[in-house]
Amino acid sequence: MTDTPIKDPESLSFEQAVAELEAIVRKLEAGQDTLETSITLYERGVALKKRCENELKEAQMKVEKISLDAAGNPAGTIPLE
């Protein structure tokens, strides 16, 4: 990894977290790092994955709150509390 400070996954945008997770997967698949570095990368990947899953779950909940009219067409949204 680099000497740049590692940001908390929660402070990253969804897109930043996905991009970093993809980079970690590529590094792990390449198998060029030491075991210790690979474990650190894996742990970071798990944290990023959790962050992305949480945001996707929130987005899914918002979509599920869209109300439908009698014909099944979107009629508006119900505020997510």
Q: CATH code at 68?
A: 1.10.287
Task: Tell me if 3 is assigned to some domain.
Answer: no
pLDDT above 60 for 80: no
Domain that holds residue 34: 9-77
- Which alpha helices (DSSP H) does the chain contain, by range? 14-30, 35-64
Task: Tell me if 4 is assigned to some domain.
Answer: no
Task: Tell me if 53 is assigned to some domain.
Answer: yes
Distance of alpha carbon 17 from alpha carbon 65, whole angstroms: 26
Residue 76 three-state SS: strand
When divided into structural domains, the chain yields a total of 1
Stated pTM of the model? 0.71
Task: Tell me if 1 is assigned to some domain.
Answer: no
Task: Tell me if 51 is assigned to some domain.
Answer: yes
Distance of alpha carbon 8 from alpha carbon 28, whole angstroms: 20
Predicted pLDDT of residue 1? 45
pLDDT above 70 for 2: no
Closest C-alpha among 14, 2, 1 to residue 48? 14
Instruction: Pull the structure tokens for residue 38.
Output: 């690979």
Tell me the per-residue pLDDT of 9-64, one tens digit each, with 9 for 90 and over.
Answer: 999 999 999 999 999 999 999 999 999 999 999 999 999 999 999 999 988 877 77
